[in-house]
């Protein structure tokens, strides 16, 4: 799951070479850890659904500009870096585009 999200992020930065690498894989790992706690089913039959859930949670966290630290509750990882609203919107849009493509294939 995390590897898929990490590859999605790498693809984003490959396509958008001029984008500053403000969102890192650690943020995605944190999102997956929170999702893992929230969702009960992670068996192979549910992995496709969990991937879409992870994409949606990533887009939501970016929209809300809040990725809560996994080990320090109340600490927002996005507060550590100055990331413009425009950059957040572009990255969020990329993940939303993946969701749309993935869901439309079902």
- CA 100 – CA 82 distance, rounded (Å): 28
Gap between the Cα atoms of 29 and 97, Å rounded: 20
Gap between the Cα atoms of 35 and 96, Å rounded: 17
Rounded to the nearest 5 degrees, what angle is found at the Cα of 33, between the Cα atoms of 31 and 9? 40
pTM exceeds 0.85: yes
31, 38 Cβ separation under 8 angstroms? no
pLDDT band at 106 (very low <50, low <70, confident <90, very high): low
Q: Which fold has domain 2-104?
A: Poly(a)-polymerase, middle domain (1.10.1410)
Assign 6 to helix, strand or coil. Answer: helix
pLDDT, tens digit (0-9, with 9 covering 90-100), for 2-32? 899 999 999 999 999 888 888 999 999 999 9
Sole residue written with tokens 């993946």: 98
């Amino acid at each position: 799951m995390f590897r898929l999200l990490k590859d999605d992020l790498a693809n984003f930065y490959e396509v958008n070479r001029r984008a500053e690498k403000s969102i890192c894989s650690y943020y995605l790992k944190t999102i997956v850890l929170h999702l893992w706690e929230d969702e009960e089913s992670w068996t192979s039959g549910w992995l496709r659904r969990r991937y879409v859930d992870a994409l949606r949670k990533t887009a939501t966290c970016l929209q809300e500009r809040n990725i809560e630290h996994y080990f320090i509750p109340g600490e927002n990882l996005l507060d550590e870096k100055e990331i413009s609203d425009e950059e957040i919107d572009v990255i969020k849009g990329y993940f939303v585009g993946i969701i749309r493509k993935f869901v439309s294939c079902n």
